[in-house]
Structures are given as C-alpha cells and as structure tokens.
Structure 1
Amino acid sequence: MNPATTLAVSALRAADRVSPSLAGRLALPLFRQVRPVLPVRPSDRAVHADAEGGTITVRGREVVTYSWGRGPETVLVVHGWRGRASQFGPIVRELRAEGFRVVSFDAPANGASAGRHTDIRDYLAGIEAMQRRHGMFSLVIGHSFGALATLTAVRDGTATGGVVAIAGMGDARYLVDSFADRVGIGHASADVLAREFSRRVLPDVAEPFVRVDAVSNPLPDAVPLLLVHDRADREVAVAESLRLHDAHGGRSRLVLTEGAGHARVLGADATLDAVTAFALGGLAGVDAVGLGERSVPAASA
C-alpha cells in the first residue's frame, strides 16, 4: 500500500473501534478506489498493439474498445477491478487461432479509458453497449469483478451461448466482506459500508445485493457455465467458484488450477484448454478434454 492508503486504513481501524457507522462511511471511498492504472504487461503488448481500437459511450463517458479477428462468431471478454482488456492476451490468441472474433472494453478509470471512478453500473452498461454493436455473443468471459458483472448482465438479458467466469465471486457482498477483512474492520462496519455502497451505486434498486447475486439467482437455464479458479487464489477465495458451481448444477463445469494465482490464471494452460474447448463444443467439449468437474470436489469444498 502507498503511504496515503496506509494512513487511510489506520484511520479506518481507529474509527472501527469507536463507531462502526463512521468507519463504514469512511471506508466507502477506499472501497471504490480504482487507481493506479494497471499497465500493459510486456507479454501482452503484441496482442494489445494488434487490436482494432474504437470507442463506445458508457453512461455519458467515452470508453476505449478493442477488437481482434474477423470470425463469424464473437466472444466478449470483461476485465476485473483495476484491470484492462489486454490481460486476456493469451485467451485472445487462442480464440483468434480458432476463428473467433474477440472484443472487449476498458471500463471507465481502467486501462486506457479516462476517469477517476467506476462501478458495476459502468460494467453492465459497457456490456450492453458492446452487445448493441456486435449482436449476440458466442461466449462472454469475465475475470474477477468482471465475472460478477458478466453473470449479472446475462441474468439481465445479455444474449450469449455461454458464460466463462474466471476467478469470480458469487455475489457483491463477498466484495464488501473481503475488503473489510483486508483492511481490518469488523462486521458492523462492513454492514454500514454495504448500505452506503448500495445507496450510492444502486439507489433505485430495492434489494441491490440480491440483484448482484449469482448464487441465489443463477443464470438462465439455457446458458451453460464454465468456472475456472486457482486453488491458492489470494484475491478471491476458490470457495466462491465452488458456490457458483453448486448453484448451477449439471450445466456447470469447474476447472481448478494449481499455482497460477488470481491474475496469471488467465494464461494457465488448463484455462486456455478449457476455454477453447468450451468455445468450440460447450460443456461436451470440456468433458471431452477431461478438464471440468461435474460436481463439487469434496476435498476442495
């Protein structure tokens, strides 16, 4: 953490000891913090430079878009919090080689898109704008927070033949609770943070955390789900993908990697093999390559 963030966390902990209400309110700006911008990794520069660039308008702001390939079927990839589209470089290379067109965007305040703030409304609006431009997606692939946004968007009506959630979480409340654990504030302060976040981000939704909950409200029955997660992920616990897998039953497959972590899982061999198999053959394709678990592994649950 930088010195300013360290000071803010210390103030939060002090407030938590005397007033959870104050601590929850003070936590909101830190919880919503997006900066610093993630740079393009050296290994992804070639894919990043090879993209056809463009823009869309997301809630009144101009957002940078990317497109790779000219195939008849289109895959949308959605990056996570403090992420960028170029992180999907290995997946882009694999899917282009199989004849797919891959499209993406950098959410406001992420990657090459301007701004200081973003939230799930921007992600959902970005996905909607990309669908208006490109039509139905063969797949939508989301990473981390982008996976949660993808699951929400598809439940809201985004048309796709399948969803891939990589290192994703099952619901938005997980984000609040994991943040509270990281900064060292208690459950009461986390509850206040959740209420403040709801009022700020989804003020017109009666039960915002229910809307952004893919465990209690799974994907439509016709949409298959591929889940990929590293067992040792320190950012999002693997238990989140286990919950999602259990909630979706027989139309879900789960691939667990070892040692790839939260971000590098995007380029893991098992990830690339599973995503490619799913893109080409759906759940049967994943089964054919012998990667996906049909039920929750007892040893990992």
Structure 2
Amino acid sequence: MDLALTAAGASVRAAAALSPRWGAAVALPLFGHVAPPRPVRVDDEPTMWRARRGRLRIPGIDRRGTEVETYEWGSGGRTVVLAHGWDARASQFAPLVRELVAEGHRVVAFDAPAHGASVGRRTYLVDWLDIFSALQERFGSFEAVVGHSFGGLAALVGVAGGIGAQRVVTVAAPADADALLTQFQAGLGYSDAVSVRMRELFASRYFPGERDPFAWLSSVRRPIPAAVPLLIVHDRGDRLVPFAEAERIAAAHPGARILETSGLGHNRILAADVVLDAVLEHIAAPIAAPAAESSAQVADREVVAAA
C-alpha cells in the first residue's frame, strides 16, 4: 500500500476518534490534493512539441484566479476537446491526437490546475467545467468532448449543464461524484460517520449555496441530452474505476453505445487501436434525428479483448 495514503488514512482516523467532524475536516483538504505531475512519456513528446501552446485563466478552486496550460493541433471548425483525468495530463491523449488531426479535426487539450504544466496543488471538477466554458467561448460549440476517468465525469456533467457538444465519449469514467467519495473513503479507511460529515463539508466548501450538489454532479441523476450520441468505453478489469460505473452511465443514457474491453486496464486503454478506431468512428458518424426512446431501451454493447 502507498505509504502516503497509509499515513493520510491514519491521520484522518486519529482525528475521527475525537469527532467525526474533525475527521472530515482533516480528510477534506486531502480530497482535492493532487500528487506531483507525472513526466511526459518519451513516445508522446513529439506530439506535444508540435502543439500550439496557450493559457486560459479560470476562477480556480478557491475562486481567486489561476492559469491552465492549453494545447492545440490542427485547424478548422471541427473542434474536439480532450479532458484528462485525476493525476494525469494532456499528453496521455497523444495517440488519439495524432489520429484526430489526420482526420482533419482541430484538437484542443489542457492540463487542469495542479496537473501537467499547470500550476497549483489542489483542484476539483469545477475547474474542468470552467475550462470547458472558456474553450467554448474561444472555439464555439464542440464537435465532441472526449474524457478519460475523472475527465469523463466532467464531460458528462459539463454537457448536461449546457456545454455545447455534438457528441461525447467517456473512457473509464465514474458515473458520479458519490462514486469518487466512496472510493476515497475506501482508500483512507474512515468510518461511515466521517463519510456523512465529509459529504456535508464537501458540499459547503466546493458548492456553497447548493442544496444538493450531488444531484448535478451525477450522470445518473442528470444525464446528457438524448440528442447527444454517447460512446462509453471501459475495461472489464479496470482496478481504479470499476466496470459497474460504465453500466450505471449506460443505464441512464438509453441508446448509448458501450465498448467493453478486456486486458487494457485504466490507462493503456487510451492508446489501444480498437479504442482509437471506435472514438474516430463515433465522432465521424452522422447524428440521427431525435426519436422517442423507451426508458427500458438498453445500450448497444460491443465486447472486445485486447490483442
């Protein structure tokens, strides 16, 4: 087990022995803390060197203002936005960037606060949403948003909340913020009493004035519009985000397509040929006219095994 995680869990449990509220107070800053950025993989460096780099200023988690690094490839009006996950960076999308540019798309990615080349040590989903809004002002409606892991949840929440995108792709994404808090509790090993207080503090700290932020931080309780085609990619053996999360997303989005892989895990899935092909196909496919859909309609599922 990671020593830092073990120490963090011990500190939370020690505070919780005095009071669940104290335990939650110790846990909350850890929830938004981001580990030092991982380096860019050698294979991804040429793609990142070719990017046109820029910066966006967003309010930031403390609403005091912060800058994020952006990357742009290609040109034209067909803009595809790539949203990385927690403890990740834009360079992880390098294989997909190359494929999309070859197909004539403008591709835009970013390093969220405290990730990659962007400054900071803390962040949360509101930053991803603010980045989407800033990019929307610059480029107009997106042809597609592709999000990996935490970035996939951000894509779903953003489009459900009004970000203009013709299509959405999630890869290894959780279905809602509740799943993240449950995972965080399991990692630190604190009690359900602390968990209740943690959720209360989380809501008041990150979403002051919101009666129930978990209602809109959920692709299950607030799905994206039915007119927006959704591709859900997830590996059956994902150890970080269970495959059941993909099924939860699909259940809330009748007509979505699920690409179920095996043997690719949580991160290697981003560079797999079968996934790259599926994403390109999804983005290129014509969008059918909206039709009445039954709530009992199930998602279209495709199962593939890693070579």
TM-score, normalization: structure 2?
Answer: 0.89
The 1:210–1:84 alpha-carbon spacing in structure 2 relative to 1, beyond 3 Å, is same
Q: Secondary structure at the residue paired with 2:283?
A: helix
Deviation at 1:3, TM superposition (A): 4.8
Aligned to 1:288: none
CA distance in 1, matches of 2:287, 2:277: 13
1:294 to 283, 289, 300: 300
Aligned to 2:53: 53
Aligned to 2:234: 229
CA distance in 2, matches of 1:109, 1:53: 17
Does residue 1:259 correspond to 2:263, yes or no? yes
Deviation at 1:270, TM superposition (A): 1.9
Counterpart mapping for 1:116-135 below 5 A: 116-135=121-140
Q: Deviations over 1:145-201 (max 9, x none)?
A: 111111111111111111001111111011000111112122222221111111111
2:280 corresponds to which letter in structure 1? T
Aligned to 1:44: 44
2:101 corresponds to which letter in structure 1? R
1:62 to 63, 67, 74: 67
CA distance in 1, matches of 2:164, 2:11: 45
1:266 corresponds to which letter in structure 2? L
CA distance in 1, matches of 2:19, 2:302: 41
CA distance in 1, matches of 2:41, 2:146: 20
Q: Secondary structure at the residue paired with 1:248?
A: coil
Contact 1:245 1:295 in 2 (8 A): no
2:165 corresponds to which letter in structure 1? T
Deviation at 1:282, TM superposition (A): 5.1
Contact 1:28 1:196 in 2 (8 A): yes
CA distance in 2, matches of 1:40, 1:154: 29
Q: How many residues align?
A: 289
CA distance in 1, matches of 2:135, 2:254: 29
Deviation at 1:295, TM superposition (A): 5.3
Aligned to 1:167: 172
Aligned to 1:289: none
The 1:295–1:228 alpha-carbon spacing in structure 2 relative to 1, beyond 3 Å, is closer
Aligned to 1:23: 23
- Identity score, percent: 45
Aligned to 2:10: 10
Deviation at 1:204, TM superposition (A): 2.4
Contact 1:242 1:296 in 2 (8 A): no
Deviation at 1:16, TM superposition (A): 4.2
Does residue 1:218 correspond to 2:223, yes or no? yes
Counterpart mapping for 1:175-214 below 5 A: 175-214=180-219
1:281 to 282, 285, 301: 285
Q: Secondary structure at the residue paired with 1:117?
A: coil
Deviation at 1:279, TM superposition (A): 1.1
Deviation at 1:139, TM superposition (A): 0.3
CA distance in 2, matches of 1:102, 1:155: 22
Deviation at 1:8, TM superposition (A): 2.1
Contact 1:246 1:295 in 2 (8 A): no
The 1:296–1:271 alpha-carbon spacing in structure 2 relative to 1, beyond 3 Å, is closer
Q: Secondary structure at the residue paired with 2:253?
A: helix
Deviation at 1:120, TM superposition (A): 1.4
1:257 corresponds to which letter in structure 2? T
Structure with the bigger percentage of helix: 1
Unmatched 5+ residue regions in structure 2? 60-64, 289-298
Higher mean C-alpha deviation, range 262-271 or range 225-234: 262-271
Deviation at 1:202, TM superposition (A): 0.7
Q: Deviations over 1:47-87 (max 9, x none)?
A: 11111101111112221110011243110001111211111
Q: Secondary structure at the residue paired with 1:249?
A: coil
Aligned to 1:287: none
CA distance in 1, matches of 2:225, 2:300: 18
The 1:158–1:87 alpha-carbon spacing in structure 2 relative to 1, beyond 3 Å, is same
The 1:175–1:37 alpha-carbon spacing in structure 2 relative to 1, beyond 3 Å, is same
